Amino acid sequence: MRFGKEFVSQMIPEWQEAYIDYAYLKTFLQDIQASRNIANSSTSKNRPSFARNLTRRYTRQASSSSENQDIVVNTVTWTDDNELETRYETAFLKAGEASGNSEVAFFKTLDGEFNKVNSFYRLKVERVRIEAMTLSKQMDALIAFRIRVMEKKNTCLSNAVSVDINAITFETGSSSNTSKSREHRVALADLMKNDEEAKSERMDSQTISVLGRIRMNKTSETPLCTIIKNHKHEELEFTRHNLKKIEERLQVAFIEFYQKLRLLKNYSFLNTSAVSKIMKKYDKIAARNAGKTYMEMVDSSYLTSSDEVNNMILRVESTFIENFANSNRRQGMNLLRPKTNKERHRITFSTGFFFGCAISLIVALALIIHARNILGTQGQRTYMETMFPLYRFFGFVVLHMIMYGANIYFWRRYRVNYSFIFGFKRGTQLGYRHVLLLSFGLGTLSLCAVLLNLDMEMDSQTKDYRTFTELIPLFLLVLVMVIVLFPFNILYRSSRLFFLSILFRCIAAPLYKVNLPDFFLADQLTSQVQAVRSLEFYICYYGFGDFRHRRRNTCRSNDVFTTIYFLVGVIPYWSRFLQCVRRIFEDKELIHVYNAIKYLLIIVAACLRTAFTINRGNTWNITAWVFSAVATLYATYWDIFVDWGLLQRGCKNSFLREKLLVPHKTVYYVAMVLNVLLRLVWLQTVLDLKFSFLHRETMVALMACLEIIRRGIWNFFRLENEHLNNVGRFRAFKSVPLPFNYYEDEVQDH
């Protein structure tokens, strides 16, 4: 791999603006090469060949004898806000030669890039130094907490031993040895008392002072914390349970801090290598020896000469291994080092296998329907009204997973740091191959169930369907639920737990603080309204309907079912609305008010459209039209302008934004048009469009699929915009809550 591509691939995505612009510097080398070629060609026309050879030989000798005379690197130091700032400026001493202007511009740009990198590195090292001091104070508090827990445990053990001794004495004692045993008991009690007093006296005064200055931050957020406005801190309770929670949180903080140090070290190495490479290219193209002089300056700069990061890495390793790995270096380093997902061939093979199976089953299904001439029969209509709503649930889920897998592929291709944005645990995030494997596997199971359940007509003798085949969709649903809730560490357990925890937070809104994964998943659920309604139909069909005769009239005529059907279409939007309300009270920002209004309009429009489908009438039709149109305009503007960050004024990319990750601008324009068109699928409901070749349930499924596709497109550009916002703020690491808080820190915050 060429260095330029390797350099880009190893960049921290959020810091890409802070790296040496290697590609831009190479353009200056091209200008230098072009200028020298022009100068050499004009000289060769006016000079004999033997003179050219002598001149070339003489030039090489001169450059070798005066290799340090091409450039002079000056150090400029001044004080800015009581901080010492150092910059480097290169003076090119041969500006009068051919390509001199290009070489002057090259060194001016190179100095600017290097000074940028050097200043950025110094700033980041200063921040991690402060963070290292904070972690050091946390470790002091942890050690003091451990001592108190161990003392409490030893006190309990000594009391227990005393009780046991007394009990034994009374049980085995006789009148002859009672006094002697009592003397032994008193002596042992005095010895234990003296031992406890000695231990208490040995307790370090610094440990006592540490415990007197700390509070314990709450380890987890609960709905009770939201309902009852209690404090953010807990009283210090010296229990082993609290000690375990503290150690777990501090261990995560150390691991995250260690990754920062490693990335900073890699940042220094990459930029130093980039300067070295570009100077080698310059010396080769310009036939000079300036690289040695310039690299001497680089080696003496803070970027290369500072050992603070290396020293902190060694201290973190030793502290972590001693305190969190029982002095086992291999175990400690396995925890500290980043875990990378290995692309296994069996994943790719299995994905392709299940994809082929799914395609084959679709073809087989189409051939069976055509061969048996099923379309248009009474059994087909019954099947579409009963079994199809059950199976389409899996179709919605599979389509959404395929879109998510495609999102992951393109996020990785355009270097969107989706795992950091979502807060996935390092090394456990699923790649697009894993997601596609799950989606095609579920699709294959669903299609197999459809083929097993493709009997359209009743038995002519019993006038009944087979109970087993009618229960196949329910068996499949239960199987999927069991896999999702499976507690053992197989089948991507960490990803399933992460999904379930975020899903619970969405359901429990607004009782939890809203993070990006919370509202991102809630937005996905708003595009799966028909899937949720299919789950409702499962309950009604198998619980209250007569599934043996494929009758759904019991559900359709049930007022409770109709009411729940009405509410189910609102629940995802209501959850998202409550999340916006929570953010209004927490962040105090007006933008969340506007976002809440958007979801409130969508809720009203969805209710009116559902009411129109149940109770036909001009009044319902007109009100559904009005509110749906307003909600669509509002939501479309919000999608494009706020969520995607497009339609920016005064930027170099017309009607887009200043920075784009996809090189083809047409993609953004097409995405905006598609978003507008797919937002208008509700027109099918209010216009009551019907097609003779499509069943009503098929039309509903197609509209739901279009909404899922729209959401998949929205996902990519929403996360791209979030990533670019992180890049603008150089935000590359997540903040880890610490277990302790010092009183003096609280005073400084206030």
Residues with Cβ < 8 Å from 257, sequence gap 6 or more? Answer: 128, 131, 132, 135, 316
DSSP string, 480-534: HHHHHH--SS-SSHHHHHHHHHHHHHHHTTTSS---HHHHHHHHHHHT-HHHHHH
Q: What pLDDT is stored for residue 427 in this prediction? A: 77
Q: What pLDDT is stored for residue 455 in this prediction? A: 66
Which segments of the chain have a pLDDT < 50? Answer: 48-67, 161-176, 188, 191-192, 747, 750
What is d(CA 618, CA 611) in angstroms, rounded to the nearest whole number?
A: 12
**Residue ranges of the alpha helices (H) in 72-172?**
100-172
User: Is 313 strand, coil or helix?
Assistant: helix
User: Is 734 strand, coil or helix?
Assistant: coil
Q: What pLDDT is stored for residue 200 in this prediction? A: 55
Residues with Cβ < 8 Å from 3, sequence gap 6 or more? Answer: 22, 273, 274, 277
Give CA 679 to chain center in angstroms: 27
What is d(CA 574, CA 565) in angstroms, rounded to the nearest whole number?
A: 15
Q: What pLDDT is stored for residue 384 in this prediction? A: 83
DSSP string, 358-407: HHHHHHHHHHHHHHTT-TTSHHHHHHHHHHHHHHHHHHHHHHHHHHHHHH
> Which amino acid, residue 582?
R
What is d(CA 14, CA 584) in angstroms, rounded to the nearest whole number?
A: 28
Token reading at 731: 């935000």
Contact 536, 568 (CB under 8 A): yes
Contact 262, 732 (CB under 8 A): no
What is d(CA 734, CA 421) in angstroms, rounded to the nearest whole number?
A: 9
Q: How far is CA 679 from CA 626, 673, 675, in A?
A: 15, 10, 6
What is d(CA 750, CA 740) in angstroms, rounded to the nearest whole number?
A: 17
Contact 549, 382 (CB under 8 A): no
Contact 472, 542 (CB under 8 A): no
Q: Which of 125, 717, 697, 75 is nearest to 414 (CA)?
A: 717
Residues with Cβ < 8 Å from 336, sequence gap 6 or more? Answer: 254, 255, 258, 316, 317, 320
What is d(CA 235, CA 233) in angstroms, rounded to the nearest whole number?
A: 7
Q: What pLDDT is stored for residue 400 in this prediction? A: 96
Q: What confidence tens digit (pLDDT) does each residue in 669-724 have? A: 999 999 999 998 888 777 777 777 788 888 889 999 999 999 999 999 999 999 99
User: Is 462 strand, coil or helix?
Assistant: coil
C-alpha dihedral (362, 363, 369, 373), degrees to nearest 10: 160
How many CB atoms within 10 Å of residue 327? 10
How many CB atoms within 10 Å of residue 417? 19
Contact 626, 608 (CB under 8 A): no
What is d(CA 236, CA 212) in angstroms, rounded to the nearest whole number?
A: 10
Q: What pLDDT is stored for residue 463 in this prediction? A: 53
What is d(CA 750, CA 558) in angstroms, rounded to the nearest whole number?
A: 59
Token reading at 311: 């020293």
Q: How far is CA 311 from CA 129, 307, 315, 318, in A?
A: 11, 6, 6, 11
What is d(CA 584, CA 586) in angstroms, rounded to the nearest whole number?
A: 6
Contact 509, 496 (CB under 8 A): no
Contact 610, 564 (CB under 8 A): no
Q: What confidence tens digit (pLDDT) does each residue in 536-573 have? A: 889 888 887 667 777 666 676 677 777 888 888 899 99
The number of CA neighbours under 13 Å toward the Cβ of 662 is 17
Q: Which of 605, 668, 665, 671 is nearest to 634 (CA)?
A: 605
What is d(CA 155, CA 223) in angstroms, rounded to the nearest whole number?
A: 36
Q: How far is CA 685 from CA 449, 562, 609, 614, 615, in A?
A: 30, 17, 7, 11, 13
